Amino acid sequence: MGDLTRVSFVRRSKWSEWFLDTWWNQTSFIQFGSTKSGDNAALKHLIDHLSAEEMQAHVRIAKMQCLFNSYSWVLTWKSGWPIN
């Protein structure tokens, strides 16, 4: 997973409140004396430790970086559909 925290959409629910509270309170990922905040590492750790049922019910990760931001998508050999 890349930079997960750049664009995030959260539907309000009891589960999302738990998820955001848990993510926010993972203070062990704070790197004092560093320019890194640790939020991506904390999010990756949290997502990696969700059950398969929770992932399926609550988490979606867009495969295309341009889906929610201003990057345009251009068909290239790298971005194109796999050839079977």
- The answer to whether 1 and 47 are in contact (CB under 8 A) is yes
Helices 14-24 and 39-48, axial angle in degrees (round to 10): 130
Per-residue confidence (pLDDT) for residue 58, from 0 to 100: 92
Q: Quote the pTM value.
A: 0.64
For residue 29, what are the contacts with CB-CB under 8 A and spacing of at least 6? 38, 39, 41, 42, 45
CA dihedral 66, 36, 55, 78 (to 10 degrees): 30
pLDDT by position in tens, the chain (length 84)? 455 556 677 889 999 999 999 998 988 888 788 877 788 888 889 999 999 999 999 988 777 666 666 666 666 766 665 555
The residue assigned the tokens 């559909």 is 81
